[in-house]
């Protein structure tokens, strides 16, 4: 199969200098061909330099396995390579070996000290902005595999691909502000990928808020609302919401003993209205059900339970799952309930993207409203931030919570609220 590469992909693959080390990051929007280009480069290096050793990794192994590794296999199939003849895959060793002796190790970077003994010819980093800068510097020190005499014009290579950073973090600083001459940043907006389906970017514009669209589709760097996780929430999103006892009532749950956080909402076809919350300390699922029934004893519409998919698992403290407990407990009060949850929880960034898109999408439409009674949810909206220089949410530590009790309420209410939005209006990133 012959590939017709995009301009950005070709720029990523080719080296425009004569330094002994090339460090490149392909920064693109969703669907801009980042992982495609990275895995193709890894294979080409293995074919060009026999017995080279490469490392492919990400902060979590799930990302390596489900995204990067699968793209490697797709390339090998497209090239007509046959397992057992042209290459071998060892699931036990998590290693891809080619017929010429080249090999690629697939690893996670969550424990970087375990990688310090490796001597490598190249490294590929999936979602580069998610790894700590210290890990990146450690990988630079692994570029020490001794070149073979048959390797002509060999250059050590570290290459990564990532979405633009929500903040001006270490990738921005390293590749834009203080970039050495052998460090390269290739920017690729989703809109430049001519192989995407017609209308793909137009649909994303409807789904995402404007700032999110600029960053994750147009591949623009920028400060994303001063580090707040929830974007563009204004007084227009706050309104007095009347509970309607004949409408469907949604209970969306995040299960914790301290605190337990449930949000209550009505929804229409494309809008959601959070009118109340139940946030209790040192409690149980059954006691939280009792609090709900105390507040809303005569509901006539359907009660639909949404929330954390892990709540459908049994724990060591009960023979029932949280959702079975809810169903049984509410039945004692005369309520019938429908359980509508996903089979597994999506990545938190998907839920946050869906929540932000409802607050205000790129076309300026507001489809999410919160009543002032939802004090803890509003506290999250105004205070939950990303860790500085990363795209990871800054969850308070146990020590921080001991010093400031209100911090215990950060993350759980927004988790509960975003489970509901993600179930009905999901965004796949």
Tens of pLDDT along 314-328?
Answer: 444 455 789 999 999
Cβ within 8 Å of residue 417, ≥6 positions away: 252, 263, 265, 274, 355, 377
CA R_g for the chain: 25
Determine the topology of domain 7-198 in CATH. Answer: Rossmann fold (3.40.50)
First-to-last alpha carbon distance for the chain, in angstroms, is: 28
> For the chain, which residues make up each domain, given as ranges?
7-198, 235-424
Is a pLDDT exceeding 50 seen at residue 228? yes
* 99 CB-contact burial (10 Å; exposed 0-12 / middle 13-18 / buried 19+): middle
What SS3 class is residue 331? helix
Cβ within 8 Å of residue 362, ≥6 positions away: 205, 206, 207, 208, 209, 210, 212, 213
C-alpha closest to that of 157 among 73, 37, 287: 37
Is a pLDDT exceeding 90 seen at residue 231? no
What SS3 class is residue 368? strand
Q: Which of 18-27, 174-183, 352-361, 369-378 has the lowest mean pLDDT?
A: 174-183
Output the CA angle 135-138-140, nearest 5 degrees.
Answer: 115
- Confidence tier at 198 by pLDDT (50, 70, 90): confident
Q: How far is residue 73's CA from residue 297's CA, in Å, rounded to a whole number? A: 56
The pTM (predicted TM-score) of the whole model is 0.57
pLDDT of residue 315: 47
C-alpha closest to that of 241 among 372, 365, 367, 359: 372
Strands 53-58 and 103-108 turn out to be: parallel
C-beta separation of 213 from 204 below 8 A: yes
What is the CATH code of the structural domain delimited by 235-424? Answer: 3.30.420.280
Tell me the mean pLDDT in the region 138-150.
94
Is a pLDDT exceeding 60 seen at residue 105? yes
- Mean pLDDT across the chain, nearest whole number? 89
Tens of pLDDT along 394-410?
Answer: 888 877 776 567 788 88
Element (H, E) at 104: strand 103-108
């Amino acid at each position: 199969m012959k590939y017709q590469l995009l301009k950005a992909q070709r720029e990523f693959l080719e080296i425009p200098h004569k330094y002994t080390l090339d460090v490149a990051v392909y920064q693109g929007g969703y669907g801009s061909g980042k992982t495609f280009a990275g895995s193709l480069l890894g294979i080409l290096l293995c074919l060009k330099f026999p017995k080279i050793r490469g490392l492919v990794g990400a902060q979590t192994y799930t990302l390596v396995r489900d995204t990067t590794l699968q793209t490697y296999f797709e390339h090998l199939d497209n090239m007509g390579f046959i397992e057992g003849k042209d290459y071998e895959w060892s699931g036990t060793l998590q290693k891809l070996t080619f017929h010429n002796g080249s090999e690629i190790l697939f690893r996670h970077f969550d424990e970087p000290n375990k990688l310090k003994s490796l001597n490598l010819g190249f490294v590929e980093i999936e979602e580069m902005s998610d790894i700590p800068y210290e890990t990146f510097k450690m990988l630079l020190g692994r570029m020490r595999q001794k070149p073979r005499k048959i390797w002509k014009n060999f250059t050590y290579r570290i290459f990564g691909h990532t979405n633009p950073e929500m903040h001006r973090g270490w990738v921005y600083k390293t590749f834009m502000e203080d970039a050495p001459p052998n460090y390269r940043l290739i920017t690729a907006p989703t809109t430049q990928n001519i192989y995407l389906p017609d209308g793909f970017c137009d649909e994303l514009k409807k789904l995402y808020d404007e700032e999110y669209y600029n960053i994750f589709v147009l591949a623009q760097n920028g400060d994303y609302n001063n580090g707040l996780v929830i974007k563009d929430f204004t007084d227009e999103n706050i309104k007095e919401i009347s509970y309607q006892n004949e409408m469907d009532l949604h209970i969306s749950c995040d299960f914790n003993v301290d605190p337990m956080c449930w949000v209550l909402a009505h929804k229409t076809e494309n809008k959601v209205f959070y009118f109340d919350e139940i946030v209790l300390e040192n409690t149980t699922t059954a006691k939280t059900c009792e609090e709900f029934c105390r507040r809303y004893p005569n509901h006539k519409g359907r009660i639909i339970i949404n929330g954390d998919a892990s709540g459908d698992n049994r724990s060591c403290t009960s023979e029932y799952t949280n959702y079975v407990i809810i169903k049984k407990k509410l039945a004692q009060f005369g309520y019938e309930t429908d359980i509508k949850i996903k089979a597994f929880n999506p990545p938190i960034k998907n839920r946050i993207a869906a929540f932000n898109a409802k607050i205000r999408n790129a076309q300026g439409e507001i489809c999410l409203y919160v009543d002032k009674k939802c004090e803890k949810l509003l506290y999250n909206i105004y205070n939950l931030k990303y860790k500085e220089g990363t795209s990871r949410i800054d969850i308070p530590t146990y020590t921080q919570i001991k010093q400031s009790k209100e911090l215990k309420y950060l993350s759980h209410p927004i988790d509960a609220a975003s489970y509901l939005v993600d179930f009905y209006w999901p965004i796949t990133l």
